[in-house]
Amino acid sequence: MGMLGAERIFNVLDTDERTENKGTHKPAQIQGDIQFKNVWFAYNDENWVLKDISFHVKPGETLALVGATGAGKSSTINILNRFYEINKGQVLLDGIDIRDYELNYLRATIATVLQDVFLFSDSIANNINLNNPKISREAIIKAAEDVGALDFINRLPGAFDYDVMERGATLSAGQAQLISFIRALVYNPQILV
């Protein structure tokens, strides 16, 4: 079993996959109009995860993707962030194909809050700003207040300086999720997934 596991790890490490970054579009402002037009996506050959998917989310609207495990919810998020390329169809952001956007710019405009939150063995503040010196303590506190987490953080010994054990072992799952929401909000994204 150990050899099989090691072989899988080495296969991943040997993979040389790169997302093409030929796009140059970097507008001053993103409106957040998202369209999936007849999107087809498969991880392997033609074992389709998404088959001819189309939807339109206008700025300010909310879309809920609901389905069983393997239905394509996470794949849709990964496609929007261009972690994976689609096989057929088109994904538009503000009417422009996401492949035309500069990749780092595109990913910086989208904040994703996942169900399984990873927290580092560090302070609450550093888990929120990810040690980014450009994000002030005031911005962290404001985001915590906006999310509704300020009271629970202030009750912790040391508040924002409270040290979290790795993976958030000293916090409840709900508290860790709130930290993740604050982390996304403090970066002021135009699109929240």
Q: pLDDT tens digits for 63-86?
A: 888 888 877 888 888 899 988 889
| pLDDT of amino acid 149 | 87
Give the length of the chain: 193
Number of domains in the chain: 2
In a domain, 2, yes or no: no
Instruction: Give the model confidence (pLDDT) of 74-131 as tens digits.
Output: 888 889 998 888 999 999 999 999 999 998 888 888 888 877 788 888 888 998 988 8
Last residue of a domain, one of 88, 110, 132: 110
pLDDT digit string, tens, across residues 28-45: 888 989 999 999 998 887
Q: Do 28 and 73 belong together in one domain?
A: yes
* Domain span at 56: 19-110
CA geometry: angle 12, 17, 19, nearest 5 deg: 140
Residues 92 and 147 in one domain: no
Residues 24, 106: one domain?
yes
Asked if pLDDT for residue 170 goes beyond 80, the answer is: no
Reading phi first (left if > 0) and then psi (alpha if -120 to 50, else beta), residue 94 is in left
Of 75, 110, 145, the domain-final residue: 110
In a domain, 5, yes or no: no
Task: Please check whether residue 95 lies inside any domain of the structure.
Answer: yes
CATH number, domain with residue 142: 3.40.50.300
What pLDDT was estimated at residue 104? Answer: 87
- Which pLDDT band holds residue 58 (cuts at 50, 70, 90)? very high
Report, as an integer, the average pLDDT of 16-38: 82
- Which residues are CB-neighbours of 172 under 8 A, at least 6 positions away? none
Q: How far is CA 66 from CA 12, 33, 72, in A?
A: 30, 20, 9
The model's pTM is: 0.72
Percent of the chain with pLDDT over 70: 94
Q: Which of 8-12, 25-29, 144-148, 176-180 has the lowest mean pLDDT?
A: 8-12
Q: What is the mean pLDDT of the chain?
A: 86
pLDDT for 17 equals 58
Q: What is the pLDDT of residue 118?
A: 82
The answer for residues whose C-beta is within 8 angstroms of residue 11's C-beta and 6 or more apart is none
Of 76, 110, 144, which closes a domain?
110
In whole angstroms, what is the distance from residue 41 CA to residue 115 CA?
A: 23
What does the block give as tokens for 55? Answer: 């939807």
Distances (CA, A) of 3 to 9, 11, 98: 10, 12, 40
